[in-house]
Amino acid sequence: MAKSDTEVLKYRDESYDFRDTDTSWGVHGIHPYPAMMVYPIARRLIKEYSKEGGVVLDPFMGSGTVLVESILHSRNCIGADLNPLALLIANAKKTYIPAKKLYDSIVKILSKKENFEYSAPDFFNINFWFKEYVIDNLARLKAKISVIKDEDIKRFFLVAFSETVRICSNTRTGEFKLLRIKVLEKHNPNVFSTFERIASRNIKKLLETYNHQPHTSAEAIEADSRYDIPDLQPSAIDLVLTSPPYGDSKTTVAYGQFSRLSLQWLGNEEVTVDKDSLGGSPTESLDTDIPSETVRVIIGKIKELDSKRARQVLSFYIDLFACFENIKRYLKRGGYICLVVGNRRVKRITIPTDSIVVELLNALGYVHTKTILREIPSKRMPWANSPTNIIGAKEKTMNEENIIIMQKES
Ligand SMILES: C[S@@+](CC[C@H](N)C(=O)[O-])C[C@H]1O[C@@H](n2cnc3c(N)ncnc32)[C@H](O)[C@@H]1O
């Protein structure tokens, strides 16, 4: 059978695997975040598809990999995300702070002399997710950070606090979903020494990344990329570089679940990230006019097996198309869009998101330059999921991803 145009322009390139690179170098290793873009990919694409002084947009910014690489390579950058935890981490990672200020502050936070008024938060199920003494210590630690006046420094230490919350909670390590440790007797974390270790590591990472204020600007905006991005002018962008979610939060990566405990400790009572993300609510019907024949074929196949699942999957692609329509006006004519996407499986059917993205963007006036297939050496993605919703039944869903490059012609 003849290959489609999309397949002809798709090839494997081992130089994009970055097997021997420490992908947690510098600030890229501050705070875990699900499905992070590995920084050498961002770096290479920024250098290849934009110029110094140009403006890069990441509409699914996450922890800010593209923001950081942009300023490190003299580009300006705007990042948007609807997850407040992503905003906190990205803002901390892109902000240079002189070493002395950081060391002075950590000494104050860890000093035992000062007495602080503090009170523990009271969110739903707090005692299920944290031991009593951990709640008390986290509350004391947070009060000590909250008195810092300089907003950049306070944010920097709140990021270390958020990671401390994760480690000292009763959740299982290495999981992005909220799952509780089965045997809690042996889980007795020390809040202050955990914080000291994380904060000291973060200081080291910030200092190995920046030794002066970057010359270009990076702005992280809390926004839903399906709609207007506040203050962004039409045709302001030279390059869109992003890794969208792999699918709806419920059945792929639950950014909201991942962020919930940290956000609650940081004062966000209601966390609606998963509901608000792409594909957050299933469509009412299975009709769609989005310009992708592949979506129609795939939805037809999933519908035969599970109609609700088909509506969830469809809703994700409708929302993704809404983002593409919205972003288009910000990109200059002739500018490039580079997307890192994985092809997930639903009901044992592989969904070729890379072909779908090409079809959707073709319909909006972009021309496909190429798709690079890379293997993912890292073990940090939740590659295995449950194909049948049976706990423990795992299926390998993704160990490679596609880097799609397209140019805006009209
Ligand atoms: C694959 S992650 C991006 C990871 C990022 N490249 C990094 O290196 O950390 C996808 C991000 O899209 C965000 N997201 C989902 N729906 C969104 C929407 N409608 N508007 C803006 N961001 C959204 C999620 O909160 C998540 O942070």
How many angstroms is it from 63 CA to the middle of ligand 1? 8
How many angstroms is it from 98 CA to the middle of ligand 1? 29
Backbone angles phi, psi at 366, to 5 degrees: -100, 150
Mutation to probe ligand 1, out of 38, 258, 277, 339 (largest number of atoms < 8 A from CB): 277
Measure the CA dihedral 43/54/84/35, to 10°: -20
Q: Is the pLDDT of residue 391 over 50?
A: no
Instruction: Please give the domain boundaries of the chain with CATH numbers for all domains.
Output: 5-84+219-408 (3.40.50.150), 99-209 (no CATH)
For 133, the token pair is 């003494």
How many angstroms is it from 244 CA to the middle of ligand 1? 6
The kind and range of the H/E element at 346 are: strand 345-346
Q: Which atom of ligand 1 is nearest to the CA of 273?
A: 25
Q: At what angle do helices 99-110 and 132-146 cross, to 10 degrees?
A: 140
Burial class (CB in 10 A: 0-12, 13-18, 19+), 234: exposed
**Looking at the DSSP assignment, which residues form a beta bridge with residue 96?**
none
The whole-angstrom separation of Cα 117 and Cα 139 is 10
Binding site membership of 67 for ligand 1 (Cβ less than 6 Å): no
pLDDT at 380: 47
pLDDT at 213: 92
| DSSP, res 357 | H
* Confidence category of residue 329, pLDDT binned at 50, 70, 90: very high
DSSP labels, 189-230 = --HHHHHHHHHHHHHHHHHHH-SS--SS-EEEEE--TTS--T
The mean of the pLDDT values for the chain is 92
Q: Is the pLDDT of residue 327 over 70?
A: yes
The whole-angstrom separation of Cα 106 and Cα 53 is 35
Which of 271-280, 299-308, 320-329 has the lowest average pLDDT?
271-280
Binding site membership of 342 for ligand 1 (Cβ less than 6 Å): no
The whole-angstrom separation of Cα 150 and Cα 242 is 31
Q: Is the pLDDT of residue 116 over 60?
A: yes
Tens digits of per-residue pLDDT, 340-358?
A: 999 999 999 999 999 999 9
Tens digits of per-residue pLDDT, 206-262?
A: 999 999 999 999 999 999 999 999 999 999 999 999 999 999 887 888 899 999 999
Give whole-number Cα distances, 324 to 31, 38, 275, 407, in Å.
Answer: 29, 23, 20, 13
pLDDT at 214: 93
Binding site membership of 83 for ligand 1 (Cβ less than 6 Å): yes
Tens digits of per-residue pLDDT, 173-193?
A: 888 888 999 999 999 999 999
Protein residue with least CA distance to atom 18, ligand 1:
224
The whole-angstrom separation of Cα 183 and Cα 199 is 28
pLDDT at 176: 80
Protein residue with least CA distance to atom 10, ligand 1:
245
Give whole-number Cα distances, 322 to 27, 97, 224, 335, in Å.
Answer: 32, 38, 11, 19
pLDDT at 398: 61
For 21, the token pair is 């690179």
Binding site membership of 105 for ligand 1 (Cβ less than 6 Å): no
Mutation to probe ligand 1, out of 45, 60, 229 (largest number of atoms < 8 A from CB): 60
3-state SS of 35-62? Answer: CCCCHHHHHHHHHHHCCCCCEEEECCCC
Burial class (CB in 10 A: 0-12, 13-18, 19+), 378: middle
By the 8 A CB rule, do 297 and 368 touch? no
* Confidence category of residue 1, pLDDT binned at 50, 70, 90: low
